[in-house]
Amino acid sequence: MNMTFSLRHEFVYVPSSVNWTTAQKYCKQHYSDLATVDDQADHNELLKTAGMGNVWIGLYRTTGDGAFVWSDQSSSSFKAWESGQPNNQLCVNIYGGKWYDRDCVGPVPFACSIDRKRQIMRVEVKSSQNLKDPAVMNGILGKMEQIMKEKGLAQYAKLSWITQSNGNVFQKNYKRDAPKQTCDSKLRK
């Protein structure tokens, strides 16, 4: 089973008021990309860095009724929309801790993500439980996060599973107890 160990996003606030596209270009040139928010911890960190005023983030869509995507092409199910939002505009900014979609041309300060490191770890799990059960998977992940918290590492990392091409996270580890038979060993008997 493989698991990713990603450092949490770090953000930089840029007080220059520009349109969304200019903000995106600046962030890609000087940092990593416009701010990407994966979870509540990222959202809180962004608010600490950029404050509660208008700030462009990297969420956008290409049509008024299309799906929102992140500028860095990452995916996240976390959302912090204000009530009544989104309402058919293409770019997203934060104001007062809530997300609003708006016209991309308005000049607004922005926040950039700083590159983060991603490490893939292989771990061995011994369990008699059904490892395909989401509750079991979440329990294992929770235990690992608890250990990281106890070691003072939780604020720096986010753990997640890697799903294999067959749809599984875990794979059975078969141990070979008996030596492999070869043609030569069969002939000697």
Q: What is the pLDDT of residues 26-72, one digit of tens each?
A: 999 999 899 999 889 899 999 999 999 999 999 999 887 888 999 98
Separation between Cα atoms, residue 90 and residue 102, nearest integer Å: 6
| Ranges under pLDDT 50 in the chain | 1-5
Residue 171: alpha-carbon gap to chain centroid: 23
Separation between Cα atoms, residue 10 and residue 48, nearest integer Å: 11
The CATH architecture one would assign to domain 9-114 is: Roll (3.10)
Q: Counting beta carbons within 10 angstroms of the beta carbon of residue 16, is it exposed (0 to 12), middle (13 to 18) or buried (19 or more)?
A: exposed
Q: Give CA angle at 132 (131, 136), nearest 5°.
A: 55
Domain ranges within the chain, ordered by starting residue: 9-114
Taking the whole predicted model, whether its pTM rises above 0.85 is answered as no
Q: Counting beta carbons within 10 angstroms of the beta carbon of residue 57, is it exposed (0 to 12), middle (13 to 18) or buried (19 or more)?
A: buried
Instruction: Give the model's pLDDT for residue 2.
Output: 46
Q: Counting beta carbons within 10 angstroms of the beta carbon of residue 65, is it exposed (0 to 12), middle (13 to 18) or buried (19 or more)?
A: exposed
Instruction: Give the model's pLDDT for residue 128.
Output: 85
Nearest to 92 by CA among 115, 73, 111, 116: 111
Instruction: Give the model's pLDDT for residue 47.
Output: 95
Separation between Cα atoms, residue 12 and residue 15, nearest integer Å: 10
DSSP 123: -
Separation between Cα atoms, residue 157 and residue 148, nearest integer Å: 9
Helix, strand or coil for residue 128? coil
